[in-house]
Amino acid sequence: MSLNSLLFQALDGLAAASGLFFVAAGLSLIFGVTRIINIAHGSLYMLGTYVAATLANHIGGALGFWGGILTTAVLIGLIGAVIEVVLLRRIYRAPELFQLLATFALVLVINDATLWTWGPEDVLGPRAPGLRGAVEVLGRYLPSYDVFLIAAGPVVLIALHFVLIRTRFGRLIRAATQDREMLGALGVNQALLFTSVFALGSLLSGLGGALQIAREPANLLMDLTVISDAFVVVVVGGMGSIPGAYLAAVVIAEVKALCISIGVVTIAGVAVNVSKLTLVAEFLVMALVLIARPYGLLGRAQSMVRALAEPEDPLRPAGPALKLLGAAAVVALALLPLLARNSPYALVLGIDVLIAVLFAASLHFIMGPGGMHSFGHAAYFGLGAYAAALLVKWFALSMPPALIAAPVVALLGAALFGWFAVRLSGVYLAMLTLAFAQIVWSIVFQWSEVTGGSNGVLGIWPTAPFDNRAALFWLTAALTVVGILLLRTFLFAPFGYAMRAGRDSPLRAEAIGIDVKRVHWIGFTIAGAVCGVAGGVFAFAKGSISPETIDVSRSINGLVMVLLGGIQTLSGPIVGASVFALLQDTIMRQTEYWRALLGGVILLLVLAFPAGIVGGLGKLGTAWRRRP
């Protein structure tokens, strides 16, 4: 590796940083003002790439390309405004995470709308008119378009900075970021402000996407890749800080460029391919930054958002009705294999639902009573699944010891990651857990000699006596029921009270002698172990696992299940996971556009039951009892 090639890669990194910056800046603005974590932000970027590529191809020439890019940015900004007015405005008062659920539903809908409009093939844009050539730099050729992008980043940064510092609109944005309640009290029209900020953020995202057409083809995977990159940039830079977003975008793009240019190095006789680190580099950077500077490079401690959501009712032990219902559910589970002799699929689906329930219940344990919103719960599922599978593959272990190893390995992983995670809170905790999950995913994906890489591990079949569907179902049911009862017992025990105390008022909890971080760390570890059981069973139920089983979408599915059921009730995750798994199954078999349908159903539920299904039913029950 020569110095020249290193510098050249660094320039390439700067070009990539600009695109990243546009998306991240929009995300950061929107979060700062509305406190909504807009997962659909990446979808708007993807849409921008599709629209701009189409305009450039159809109109052609400089007008089609450059005019198309500007038109696209404005169009995406308008779409953002419509989304804000039609959907998000209705749920600003819902719990913070519920809004997340709604934006996730949008991701699903937009993805399928794109598939419907443009089809599954990638759409390639033309090369930029006027910038088709290349500039000779350091004896190599850098595309002129990259030079343009390198300059575009700082230009937009300066423009945004000017808007934020000098204009009234910018002052309102900064004021809302610091204390939106105060701003409302001063008589500022918040609805208008929120809509315009949402439009501006979406415009930036659309612009970022549109500018990519000369660099990469538009494809349907862009939405989630871009959003996870953008999250990392925002968190590393510091929430709400625009210069921070640019700095972070540059740092991350440069670290990636560095990894590529270093290539293979030999450390102590072992060849390490550093370029493979690119997948995990940004998450490593994020983990390091968050550990050293919990609020990002240029971020400040978040101002407290006064809770808008309804606080939680005290936990009540199960009454006779709930106990009866629970017993009936257990009996039904025990009888299902006998009743479903003629429909083997019922058992397959049943096992899927049970695994989802255990997964969601373990996530709820830390999300609800612990107040720790993990965005990377798939990591512990994956650790459990891979621990079991690899022990079977490499050590020819039988099923029972492999299933015991699953939670142990997940517990160790959760203890390690959790130790760092509990030092943060809110969005930062969410992003750090996501980073850890991505690190686990990357290791699994790249360490192909051991994990089988993208092919995964095949042939993990249950051994006797669990080698038939019915027995496997009973085992899964037993583990799920025991797991849920254990978590429930912990929540009613002093430990659970201490965990909720730490969530309700850390100040008060510390003042009565509770070590909040330690309690939350232990809670995180317990949840990881229980989740590992679900992962272990999953490996045997499917017979094979691949990195796909532990990617971001599983973590997000977990969040959706918990929120769908209702985060404030103990039975919420059970209902939410069952409904989600069944919906996914039924819808998936009905149509090619299952994502859009699922998204639509979630949106309906969000608008109709802002407290989740169980919470909503509880409210209906209360209203019924109080009727005149």
Q: How far is the CB of 317 from other proteins (least distance, A)?
A: 7
The amino acid at 58: H
Contact present, 461 and 473 (Cβ < 8 Å): no
- Residue 209 in tokens: 């996407």
Q: How far is the CB of 606 from other proteins (least distance, A)?
A: 23
Which one, of 349, 384, 397, 382, lies nearest residue 546 by Cα?
382
Query: Toward other proteins, which CB reaches closer, 515 or 592?
Result: 515
Contact present, 336 and 350 (Cβ < 8 Å): yes
Query: Toward other proteins, which CB reaches closer, 317 or 459?
Result: 317
- Residue 346 in tokens: 């019922």
Which one, of 183, 220, 242, 230, lies nearest residue 107 by Cα?
220
Distance (Å, whole) CA 295 – CA 424? 9
Q: How far is the CB of 602 from other proteins (least distance, A)?
A: 26
Query: At CA 61, angle to CA 59 and CA 66, rounded to 5?
Result: 85
Q: How far is the CB of 306 from other proteins (least distance, A)?
A: 12
Q: How far is the CB of 516 from other proteins (least distance, A)?
A: 8
Q: How far is the CB of 66 from other proteins (least distance, A)?
A: 50
Query: Toward other proteins, which CB reaches closer, 440 or 519?
Result: 519
**Cβ neighbourhood burial of 324 (10 Å; 0-12, 13-18, 19+):** exposed
Query: Toward other proteins, which CB reaches closer, 148 or 495?
Result: 495
Residue for token digits 């105060």? 182
Q: How far is the CB of 503 from other proteins (least distance, A)?
A: 8
Angle between helices 190-211 and 168-185 (to 10 degrees): 140
Q: How far is the CB of 515 from other proteins (least distance, A)?
A: 6
Query: Toward other proteins, which CB reaches closer, 208 or 371?
Result: 371
Query: Toward other proteins, which CB reaches closer, 504 or 585?
Result: 504
Q: How far is the CB of 305 from other proteins (least distance, A)?
A: 16
Which one, of 141, 146, 131, 134, lies nearest residue 4 by Cα?
141
The amino acid at 428: Y
Query: Toward other proteins, which CB reaches closer, 120 or 314?
Result: 314
Distance (Å, whole) CA 512 – CA 509? 5
Strand partners, 135: 142
Query: Toward other proteins, which CB reaches closer, 97 or 458?
Result: 97
Q: How far is the CB of 485 from other proteins (least distance, A)?
A: 12
Query: Toward other proteins, which CB reaches closer, 445 or 490?
Result: 490
**Residues whose CB falls within 8 Å of the CB of residue 360, separated by 6 or more in sequence, listed in order:** 558, 561, 562, 565, 573, 574, 576, 577, 580
Q: How far is the CB of 610 from other proteins (least distance, A)?
A: 18
Q: How far is the CB of 546 from other proteins (least distance, A)?
A: 35
Coil, strand, or helix at residue 57? helix
- Residue 318 in tokens: 């199960």
Query: Toward other proteins, which CB reaches closer, 350 or 528?
Result: 528
Query: Toward other proteins, which CB reaches closer, 122 or 312?
Result: 312
Contacts with other proteins by CB under 8 A lie at 311-315, 317, 489-490, 492-498, 500-501, 503-505, 507-515, 519, 522
Which one, of 355, 319, 374, lies nearest residue 532 by Cα?
355
Query: Toward other proteins, which CB reaches closer, 311 or 628?
Result: 311
- Residue 204 in tokens: 């930036």
Q: How far is the CB of 518 from other proteins (least distance, A)?
A: 9
Query: Toward other proteins, which CB reaches closer, 519 or 527?
Result: 519
Q: How far is the CB of 519 from other proteins (least distance, A)?
A: 7
Coil, strand, or helix at residue 218? strand
Distance (Å, whole) CA 523 – CA 517? 10
- Residue 313 in tokens: 């009712």
**Residues whose CB falls within 8 Å of the CB of residue 432, separated by 6 or more in sequence, listed in order:** 286, 287, 290, 420, 421, 424
Which one, of 182, 159, 208, lies nearest residue 22 by Cα?
208
Residue for token digits 């939410």? 576
Query: Toward other proteins, which CB reaches closer, 97 or 348?
Result: 97
Contact present, 56 and 178 (Cβ < 8 Å): no
Q: How far is the CB of 522 from other proteins (least distance, A)?
A: 7
Q: How far is the CB of 526 from other proteins (least distance, A)?
A: 9
Query: Toward other proteins, which CB reaches closer, 309 or 478?
Result: 309
- Could you give the dihedral angle defined by the CA atoms of residues 45, 51, 53 and 57, in that order, rounded to the nearest 10 degrees? -170
Distance of CA 208 to the CA centre of its chain: 21
CA separation (Å) from 264 to 2, 50, 77, 454, 534? 14, 36, 43, 21, 37
Question: 3-class secondary structure for 241-265?
Answer: CHHHHHHHHHHHHHHHHHHHHHCEE
Distance (Å, whole) CA 201 – CA 242? 12
Please tell me what DSSP assigns to residue 454. G
Within 10 angstroms of residue 493's Cβ, the number of other Cβ atoms is: 11
Phi-psi region of 612 (alpha: psi -120 to 50; beta: other; left: phi over 0): left
Query: Toward other proteins, which CB reaches closer, 464 or 511?
Result: 511
